[in-house]
Amino acid sequence: MDKFFKLSERGTTVRTEVLAGIVTFMTMAYIIFVNPGILSAAFGTTPAAQAAWMPALATATTLGAAVMCIAMGLFANRPFALASGMGLNAVVAFSIIIGAKVPWQVGMSVIFVEGIIILLLVMSGLREAVMDAIPMNLKRAIGVGIGLFITFIGLVDGKMVVGDQATLVKLGDFTTPQVWVTLIGLTAIVAFMALRVKGDILWGIIVATIAALILGVTKLPSAVVAPLDFRTFFAPFQTPAGTSSIALLQVFTPTLLLFVFATMLSDFFDTMGTVISIGEQGCFVDKAGKVEGVRNILTVDSVAAAVGGLIGASSITTYVESAAGVAEGGRTGLTPIVTGVLFALCAFFSPVIAMIGGAQPITAGALIVVGFLMMGGVRDIPWGDLEEAFPAFLTIVGIPLTYNISYGIGLGFISYVLIKVFHGKTKDVHWLMWIVSAAFVVTFAMPAIQKLVG
């Protein structure tokens, strides 16, 4: 095992990797419950019909994450975990299936097709080339922006920050038990870090779980096992009711092809940002900003997107919450394998994990701390240089404030190219940056384009 996963070479141990895998799972286990909840809205027109699809969607979500986490560990040997992507699942449910009024099988076919296209880009070397073409300071900004994004997610999940019609966000109500669970978990993690306790994030989550049980934020499960349901598997090759052809063949319309492009771009750059930022945190990014072994990482991620569409789980993608496991010391593929095994167990015992994954304040403190750990790269950005600093600034603020990693990256890319043009330094811009920036312009104009094509 030491030789296969290079444990000694990377300065880690089996115990550390197992702990990191558990922590990664704990911070992303919410997807087991959130993803089926979001997707079910597009699978039925009534609450009863939507509830009927929950077991199938839960099976797809857990098994899809399990298989792809294990694949990442075995094939790429890096501490990246995968699961159905937040944001894209909402696009599939509300924009594609409900908005475009297509059967759910066709919506999943859109994801299947974009996954295949991204895989072809990886195999051609183009996806890796784009990553290498990005200036180093933009890469640093992506990591910092994602750190702020994770922190913001933690604050929102923990009810410390809530919505407000007048100011968009405001301070939460500190008399609520959810906020107290968040504060207890956050304080525990910081205390364990200060005392240099191994597994500080995991122990903090355990403390938060105990607090959540005491304060009634979560409760012990009423059931132990749940049956598996494979109705959504092979969705692109099913023939939807009321149609005469398989779902995959119904994707090739102007509107749905635009969705293929939009989801592909989001998938492409969400993963890129996640890999770069976590790679820096895990110390496997070189001085030029290149991620070691990135081809294998991107190959697994691309296959995962297609698999997500194939089994009806929405796009499966590399999770930014993997940073929690890396912060715990995870450095090899053993970390996501442990995470994958836990996801597989949840396919059978999802009611048991519901008391943790279903109560977001329990893991909110961990997300806040992970965001803090990812902020270090901000010190290396040359803030006195407008050409480098302003695109970095837009990236950093754009990611959390648009609640979308790829949108923040797009703002940074476009501004970088424009500033170089204004300074008469167009030759300094890599040709791939021109193409990608143009693609982002198209993405931002997508609503207008969709109206034009009907």
Quick one: 343 exposed, middle or buried, by C-beta within 10 A (0-12, 13-18, 19+)? buried
Look-up of token digits 């600034």: 393
The average pLDDT across 308-332 equals 93
- Reported as a single tens digit per residue, the pLDDT across 81-113 is 999 987 788 889 888 899 889 999 999 999 999
Residue 303 CB contacts under 8 Å (≥ 6 apart), including other chains: 68, 71, 115, 119
Percent of the chain with pLDDT over 90: 48
Q: Are 419 and 167 in contact (CB under 8 A)?
A: no
- The two tokens of residue 251 are 């994707």
318: left (phi over 0), alpha (psi -120 to 50) or beta: beta
pLDDT band at 194 (very low <50, low <70, confident <90, very high): very high
Name the residue type at position 32: I
Per-residue pLDDT of 219-237, as tens digits, reads 887 777 888 999 999 999 9
Query: Rounded mean pLDDT of 276-305?
Result: 86
What local confidence, expressed as pLDDT, does residue 339 receive? 97
Is residue 443's pLDDT more than 90? no
Contact predicate 274/319, CB 8 Å: yes
Give the pLDDT score at 79.
Answer: 95
**Residue 454: predicted pLDDT:** 60
Higher pLDDT, 415 or 132: 415
Residue 50: which pLDDT band, with cuts at 50, 70 and 90?
A: confident
For 39-60, b/e burial (b = at least 16 CB within 10 A) is bbbbbeeeeeebeebbbbbbbb
Q: How large is the average pLDDT for residues 387-391? A: 95
Q: Quick check: 357 pLDDT over 80? A: no
State residue 172's pLDDT score: 94
Residue closest to 106 by CA, chosen among 292, 6, 242, 272: 242
pLDDT digits (tens, 9 = 90+) for 413-430: 999 999 999 999 998 898
What whole-number distance in Å separates Cα of residue 361 and Cα of residue 359?
6
Q: What is the pLDDT of residue 129?
A: 84
159 near 172, Cβ under 8 Å? yes
Burial environment of residue 368 by CB neighbours within 10 A (0 to 12, 13 to 18, 19 or more): buried
Where do the domains of the chain lie? 2-453
Whether 81 and 325 have beta carbons less than 8 Å apart is answered as yes
The CA–CA distances, whole Å, from 60 to 63, 83, 94, 346, 355 equal: 5, 10, 19, 11, 20
For the ranges 86-95, 115-124, 190-199, 323-332, the lowest mean pLDDT is seen at 86-95
At residue 432 the predicted structure's pLDDT band, cuts being 50, 70 and 90, is confident
pLDDT of residue 314: 95
List, in sequence order, every beta strand (DSSP E) within 102-232. 161-164, 168-171
The mean predicted confidence, pLDDT, of the chain is 89
The pLDDT, as a whole number, for residue 355 is 62
